[in-house]
Amino acid sequence: MLIVSVLMIRTAWIITAVVWLFGMVFAKPRARAGSPWVRLTYLLLAVIGGFCIGDKRLHWGWLGQRFAPPSVNILFLGAMLTVIGCAVAIWARTVLGSNWSGAPDVKQGHILVQTGPYAFTRHPIYTGFLIAVLGTALAVFRYRAAIGFFLVLVSILLKIQQEEKLMSESFPNEYASYRSRVKALVPWVL
């Protein structure tokens, strides 16, 4: 069960990375970009957060300590959340198609997508990533992973703030209506 869980986590992230890299080829050209300072800030937070979760060299001091004794059930739960989260992110990325951007941008000929997972949350890619990162952090089950999850969460919240601004400016009436009907990250809640 231990090896299967670790393989599930690695495979989910590898498949997600391949989908992202492949999808970059088909993205529309950028028409408007968000703030480069916000972009730098959320990128740094995400990279540091990912490093905290995934790098085994951070085992010094209390950062490397576990919350509790290791548990195969917790590891498997983390693996399942990682797979589910990556699947949601991939689904959302696929539905977004050529409108996708790795940074808050408005593409040339941008269309406000409101179907598929976008009918449930305005930012389903981030919802998926947060579920996946939570799952991976849970599987690691160390204090460094909790810090990493928090940093990724802050990174995504900054990115959402920038995207919301760009979408509101680009689709003033349509986005206001969409925003009033659909929650940002958690369907019907948040």
- Rounded to two decimals, the pTM is 0.92
Which residues pair with residue 105 across a beta bridge?
33
Asked whether the CA dihedral 136, 141, 145, 150 is positive or negative, the reply is: positive
Residue 108 lies in a domain: yes
Summarised one tens digit per residue, pLDDT across range 134-183 is 999 999 999 999 999 999 999 999 999 999 999 999 999 999 999 999 99
Residue 23 lies in a domain: no
Q: What is the percent of the chain where pLDDT is above 90? A: 69
Confidence at residue 70, expressed as pLDDT on a 0 to 100 scale: 78
Residue 22 lies in a domain: no
How many folded domains does the chain comprise?
Answer: 1
Summarised one tens digit per residue, pLDDT across range 106-123 is 889 999 999 999 999 999
Residue 130 lies in a domain: yes
- CB distance 18 to 90 below 8 Å: no
Class of residue 134 by CB neighbours under 10 A (exposed 0-12, middle 13-18, buried 19+): buried
Confidence at residue 23, expressed as pLDDT on a 0 to 100 scale: 86
Confidence at residue 35, expressed as pLDDT on a 0 to 100 scale: 84
Residue 95 lies in a domain: yes
Q: Looking at residue 123, which CATH number applies to its domain?
A: 1.20.120.1630
Residue 109 lies in a domain: yes
Asked whether the CA dihedral 76, 83, 105, 121 is positive or negative, the reply is: negative
Residue 27 lies in a domain: no
Q: Cα 5 to the chain's mean position, in Å?
A: 20
Summarised one tens digit per residue, pLDDT across range 17-37 is 999 998 888 888 888 888 888
Summarised one tens digit per residue, pLDDT across range 34-52 is 888 888 999 999 999 999 9
pLDDT above 80: residue 1 = no
For the chain, give the mean pLDDT: 91
Q: Which domain holds residue 142?
A: 1-13+65-190
Residue 161 lies in a domain: yes
